[in-house]
Chain A
Amino acid sequence: MRNDVLKVAVVEADRDRALMIVDSLREAGDHDVTVVGDAARLSRCLAEISPDVVLIDISNPDRDALEEMALASGPTQRPVAMFVDQSDSMTTRAAIEAGVSAYVVDGLRKDRIKPIIDAAIARFKMFARMRVELETTKAALAERKVIDRAKGILMKAKGLSEDEAYALLRRTAMDQSRKVADVARALVTTADLLG
């Protein structure tokens, strides 16, 4: 039976991310996919599942625990090698850049693993893009807030309207070749110190 369907373990604590990985693996073929969410139970879970492939975020600190599996050499234990076939350094590099690491049981044929790794790489690339977008949005929000506070300070101190306050901030920024948000931040810091 196990010759037909590969057992894949996905180590991921975030439920949404885990589900997205599982979905993309399903699209890549018929696999028996299990999600391990609890880092503390990692070793025990993997021993129970006995997966052919383990997928884990490269920046997950619990990844070090998987190294023990690479040492397993007893007759009942299944040695696990890092990544794809060692000769396939392109895929390995692509995986690292995408932020996913894969542990694969020794002796598995490359063509059987490749679709799984490729699907994981695509999915993790999307995660990376989402992370950048989220950080950009957060940064924009933070700038918005500090500019609003600076406008408020100017309106109160100089009796300006909101539009006039913003115009003053923008003019100052242009004069000093700085970003509006930087001028606003300086003003807010100064006001905090004096206040």
Chain B
Amino acid sequence: MNRDRIDCGFIPLVDCAPLVVARELGFATEEGLDLHLHAQPSWSAIRDQLAFGGLDAAHFLSVLPVAMSIGLGAASAKIDALSVLSVNGDVIGVAPDLAARMLNTGIARTNDQAVAVGRALVDAARSPLRIGVPFPFSMHAELLYYWLSTLGLEAPRDLDVRTVPPPRMADAIAANEIDAFCVGEPWGSVAVDQGAAEIVLPGSAIWQFAPEKVLAVRHDWAEENRSTALRLIRAVWRAARWLSEEDNRMTVSDLLAQPKYLDRPTDLIDRALSGRLVLAQHGRPVHLPGFLEFFDCAATFPWRSQAIWMASRWAARTGIDRSEAVAAARSCFRADLYREAMQPIGADVPGASEKVEGALDVRTEVASAKGEMFLGPDRFFDGTVFDPHAG
């Protein structure tokens, strides 16, 4: 049987799991896709390969298609997000000496309150606070700017956000090049195990339901290969459903641990998947509910309101025209294609493609095609409610 070949790039991170499962467990084959996965050395490399046609699809930072559509960054091409691959999953880590000074300010180690931890960090840090992120156009950077600017740190005066490739994060903090970082797993845990950092906060404490990675393709590719794009969305959706089942967790850890994917020990990978993280070297695992979500609460749906949130943040920070940025952002999150892909398999989809972000405290039933849809808590740490239609 002839299958459509898709060359898809990924960065070795726990949240590439839906792509790995789609290939390894046959969800791609079931949709008639010959899915090939290619590890990439950096976010700029994966972006360029996607933009210039070396790859058809990619595991992508959620903010990157939005930034590219606004014309930010070094390469420009129209990139679309077909679905969300993962929600949350970042950790904020600080150097052990800074963690000790934060504890002296009277904060409990397991406290997951962003305000309390943030105030302790602001009090204990020397100015400017140097923080490493994997890429300038990333949820990591957005969460940090949002969190620390709300608590009074102003970039660039008090805050120096630097780009450090995730595999170098532990070394960079050990060498005192940075004081703290925000990074995806397993790299936070790698730094903890080396004694180079302590995890003080999960990203979900800043925004409870932050889209972290998306399934990205070139806009032109999606138009020319519409049927293939729809099948890819379905294959990855089925993979996400399978991998979010508790019984399958260890299998997922084993799959990801292979040399061709993460090439890291199974137990290290399982920390993120189980949401039980070791926060300091030789410490006991601490359960962080909602640490990383692949499927539940419509996690895979590309909410246009989330793209608009990202564009609004960029507009406020850089002074670019907000309405233009919002329009560009809205069009690159392909809720339309996602709906079309779900239709033949009767999967439930939300009634709207935009929602108010940050309004839910608890799991809540919402209007949907079949009336079976729940959304999860999605609060911002400061209680802000973001209305995508407000100017």
Contacts and interface: CB of A to CB of B under 8 A. Distances in A.
A34 B54 CA distance: 30
B72 interface: yes
Contacts of A174: none
A35 interface: no
Contact of B48 (A70, A86, A101): A101
A93 interface: yes
A10 interface: no
Interface stretch (B162-170, B291-299, B355-363): B162-170
A96 B175 CA distance: 32
A16 interface: no
Please tell me the size bucket of the interface on B. Answer: 20 to 34
B245 interface: no
Nearest to A65: B163
Interface in A45-68: 58-68
A28 B195 CA distance: 48
B12 to A, nearest CB: 11
A26 B172 CA distance: 34
A60 B48 CA distance: 13
Nearest to B133: A64
Given A59-B41, A80-B74, A64 B163 contact: yes
Contacts of B73: 67, 70-71, 82
Contacts of B318: 73
A30 B43 CA distance: 33
A58 B48 CA distance: 9
The secondary structure that dominates the B interface is: loop
B311 to A, nearest CB: 16
B244 interface: no
Given A64-B165, A71-B72, A83-B75, A59 B45 contact: yes
A39 B168 contact: yes
A63 B136 contact: no
A40 B172 contact: yes
Given A59-B45, A62-B165, A101-B48, A67 B135 contact: yes
Contacts of A65: 162-165
Interface in B343-373: none
A35 B130 CA distance: 26
A40 B163 contact: no
A58 to B, nearest CB: 6
Contacts of A89: 52
A150 B53 CA distance: 45
B74 A67 contact: yes
Interface string B124-151: 0000000000111100000000000000
Nearest to A69: B74
Contacts of B43: 64, 67
28 contacts: A40-B172, A43-B162, A58-B45, A60-B42, A61-B42, A61-B168, A62-B42, A62-B168, A63-B45, A64-B44, A64-B134, A64-B163, A64-B165, A65-B163, A65-B165, A66-B74, A67-B44, A67-B73, A67-B74, A68-B136, A70-B72, A70-B73, A71-B73, A73-B318, A89-B52, A96-B48, A96-B49, A96-B54
Of all A-B residue pairs in the complex, the 9 with the closest CB atoms, nearest first, are: A82-B74, A61-B165, A70-B74, A59-B41, A65-B163, A82-B75, A64-B42, A61-B42, A63-B44
